């Protein structure tokens, strides 16, 4: 990695800087970078007629594996072209080039699928977005009814203004979570432990991103439809969008099919670091908030189909492009996040992260710009944005006519 990129990484995070100085002990040579630029694109628009900056995108993912990531897969579409690129390795042991079609843990991009299912049910009259979730999950809230006397609407769960507290997790730090990675924690238990704690604040007074909101939405989907969340999400969203390589593994810790392995940097007692393979992991507790396995091509298909109104009817689709009014600093809608790009474009996006994997699906509403990436981050749950992902975003949003 060039010296100037190291300097940028050090400025962004002291923890990342320490890893850079110590270096990696595996994969002595970087693989070839694969990319392709194609005329035409999966989307069309008029506001910023542009084509992806292939040179900037190649530079953004060059030199992998490095201290921050072992692989990166990127898809960018503009009105006048599309760029696909990959870099890094499939696994550190073999050093084989990263599979550009590899599957990965898509993390919280699952929430986009969940929101889409709920909005479909709203369009069908099966769910009232203004109704309290207590109406749909009475047994859950009966355990602490007095504390939840104030109703939490379905819409407030969708846009993270419900005021819930997190439920139980299988650990408080990476070491504990990793030790329990093959244990099963059910979404019902996660939800029950959240409700037992009582509310964090009154519904609708502030916005706080929490996975528990979507755990409850997954349970709501099951209660309303009488079928599992996974079957409804697959039938209503994955199949409609043509996401043939996406799935919900439940308690299965494996990623089936071609994939690039994920790693986490762990600090040793002597001050050194090592990379731990975190590919196999039971994600059942993530459920409707982060259980999905996908590919960059499938996330691109989801983005385009969703934004074109092929998944959610257009009246309900407005919920995905509406940030709640009257809440200071609110940026989240139903399943998405509003981001103002430097050139004035408004980009709607959702990030996802599980140990070993960071991803994003993002687009302008008119689909003039579409970005999807998966970065095999060595600190995917860290507080700071992965430097490789940061470079990808900067390159993708830098347009040229």
Strand, helix or coil for residue 163: coil
Mean pLDDT of 193-207: 98
The Cα 196–Cα 189 span in angstroms is 10
Mean pLDDT of 358-365: 97
The Cα 154–Cα 358 span in angstroms is 28
Residue 236 has pLDDT above 70, yes or no: yes
* Residue pLDDT, tens place only, 81-139: 999 999 999 999 999 999 999 999 999 999 999 999 999 999 999 999 999 999 999 99
Strand, helix or coil for residue 190: helix
Which has more pLDDT, 14 or 127?
A: 127
Report whether CATH 3.40.710.10 matches the domain 3-107+244-396: yes
The Cα 338–Cα 365 span in angstroms is 10
Residues with Cβ within 8 Å of 142's Cβ and at least 6 positions away in sequence, in order, are none
Q: Are 3-107+244-396 and 111-239 equal in CATH topology?
A: yes
- What pLDDT was estimated at residue 33? 65
- What pLDDT was estimated at residue 342? 79
The Cα 305–Cα 149 span in angstroms is 39
pLDDT band at 38 (very low <50, low <70, confident <90, very high): low
- DSSP string computed for 307-345: HTTSSS-HHHHGGGG-PPTTSTT--B-SS-EEEE-TTS-
- What pLDDT was estimated at residue 26? 29
Residue 334 has pLDDT above 70, yes or no: yes
Determine which of 48-62, 142-156, 159-173, 285-299 has the lowest per-residue pLDDT on average. 48-62
Mean pLDDT of 29-44: 49
What average pLDDT does the chain have? 89
Residue 16 has pLDDT above 50, yes or no: no
pLDDT band at 161 (very low <50, low <70, confident <90, very high): very high
- What pLDDT was estimated at residue 344? 87
- What pLDDT was estimated at residue 248? 98
- What pLDDT was estimated at residue 37? 61
Which has more pLDDT, 25 or 296?
A: 296
- What pLDDT was estimated at residue 313? 97
Fold (topology level) of 111-239: Beta-lactamase (3.40.710)
Mean pLDDT of 302-311: 98
pTM: 0.89
Domain boundaries, the chain: 3-107+244-396, 111-239
The Cα 98–Cα 190 span in angstroms is 35
């Amino acid at each position: 990695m060039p010296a100037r990129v190291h300097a940028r990484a050090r400025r962004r995070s002291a923890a990342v800087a320490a890893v850079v100085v110590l270096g990696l002990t595996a994969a002595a040579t970087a693989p070839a970078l694969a990319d392709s630029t194609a005329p035409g694109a999966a989307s069309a628009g008029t506001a910023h007629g542009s084509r992806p900056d292939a040179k900037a995108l190649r530079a953004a993912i060059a030199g992998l594996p490095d201290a921050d990531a072992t692989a990166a897969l990127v898809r960018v579409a503009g009105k006048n072209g599309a760029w696909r690129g990959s870099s890094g390795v499939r696994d550190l042991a073999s050093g084989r080039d990263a599979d550009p079609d590899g599957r990965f843990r898509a993390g919280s991009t699952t929430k986009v699928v969940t929101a889409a299912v709920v909005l479909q049910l709203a369009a069908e009259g099966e769910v009232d977005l203004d109704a309290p979730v207590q109406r749909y999950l009475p047994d859950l809230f009966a355990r602490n009814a007095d504390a939840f006397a104030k109703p939490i609407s379905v819409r407030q769960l969708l846009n993270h203004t419900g005021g819930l507290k997190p439920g139980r997790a299988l650990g408080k730090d990476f070491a504990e979570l990793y030790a329990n990675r093959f244990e099963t924690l059910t979404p019902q238990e996660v939800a029950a432990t959240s409700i037992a704690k009582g509310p964090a604040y009154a519904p609708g007074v502030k916005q706080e991103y929490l996975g528990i909101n979507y755990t409850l939405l997954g349970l709501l989907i099951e209660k309303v439809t009488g079928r599992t969340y996974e079957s409804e999400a697959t039938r209503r969203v994955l199949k409609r969008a043509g996401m043939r390589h996406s799935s919900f593994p439940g308690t299965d810790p494996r990623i089936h099919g071609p994939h690039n392995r994920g790693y986490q940097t762990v600090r040793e007692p002597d001050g050194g670091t090592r990379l731990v393979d975190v590919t196999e992991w039971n994600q059942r507790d993530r459920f409707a908030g982060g259980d999905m396995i996908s590919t960059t091509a499938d996330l691109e298909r989801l983005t385009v189909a969703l934004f074109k109104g092929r998944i959610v009817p257009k009246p309900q689709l407005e919920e995905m492009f509406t940030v709640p009014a009257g809440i200071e600093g609110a940026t989240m809608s139903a399943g998405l996040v509003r981001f103002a790009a430097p050139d004035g474009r408004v980009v709607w996006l959702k990030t996802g992260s599980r140990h070993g994997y960071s991803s994003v699906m993002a687009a302008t509403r008119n689909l003039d710009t579409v970005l999807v990436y998966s970065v095999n981050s060595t600190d995917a749950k860290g507080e700071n944005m992965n430097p490789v992902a940061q470079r990808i975003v900067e390159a993708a949003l830098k347009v040229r006519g």
